[in-house]
Amino acid sequence: MPQVKIGVLISGSGTNLQSLIDNVESGSIKGVISLVISNKKDVYGLERAKKHNIHAVYLNAKDYENFDKYNDALIEELKNHGVELVVLAGYLKILTSKFIEEYRNRIINIHPSLIPSFSGKGYYGIKVHEAVIDYGVKISGATVHFVDEGADTGPIIIQEAVEVKSDDTAVTLQQKILQIEHKILPLAVKYYSEGKIQISGRKIKIKE
């Protein structure tokens, strides 16, 4: 198969981006990261991209007339770089239905819980882990899924669980789950790059 051209959207330091870069450079992912876009200006994720000679762009939503125009600019930038797969690696903006339709079943997101638990509107970043600790659940984890028009509602590609121990805090749990994220996000992208993901409604099968 030809190499998949990947575009990564970020909003922060880009540790998940780094895991993707490492797996591309090792040859595990049969693809190339053609573009990194951040909606925030001085984030380390942009520096990570530049260090690996990946084209990196900052697009500020406030520079556009409305949110639709901002998403149109994202689409244009991705198309200009031939992007076939969009990966949301800690990207904290909602995508428009036009964007999602443009890249239907070609947008992958990582979420720091076992969806459908602790997911949807308001559940992002450390807030997820605070909610997990407050609720007293014994297991949490991370989920990689395709993006649809809902919030964290798209078909699930991979999930991995981690035990929530009695002495865990939101911060320690976040660190444990980040380790899982750094494993399963590149794995999902690897499966995509190898053409192994089969979608049937809500269900996904990984071909052997």
| Mean of pLDDT over the chain | 97
Encode pLDDT of 62-115 as tens digits. Answer: 999 999 999 999 999 999 999 999 999 999 899 999 999 999 999 999 999 999
pLDDT single digits (tens) 157-201: 999 999 999 999 999 999 999 999 999 999 999 999 999 999 999
Task: Using the predicted structure, report yes or no on whether residue 144 has a pLDDT greater than 80.
Answer: yes
| pLDDT > 70? residue 154 | yes
Which residue in 52, 55, 81, 111 is the catalytic one?
111
Class of domain 4-202: alpha beta
145 in catalytic set: no
Q: What CA–CA distance (Å, rounded) separates 18 from 36? A: 11
Facing residues of 109 across strands?
Answer: 88, 145
The verdict on pTM exceeding 0.75 is yes
Distance CA 122, CA 145 (A): 18
Show Cβ contacts of residue 88 under 8 Å, excluding neighbours closer than 6 positions. 8, 9, 107, 108, 109, 110, 147
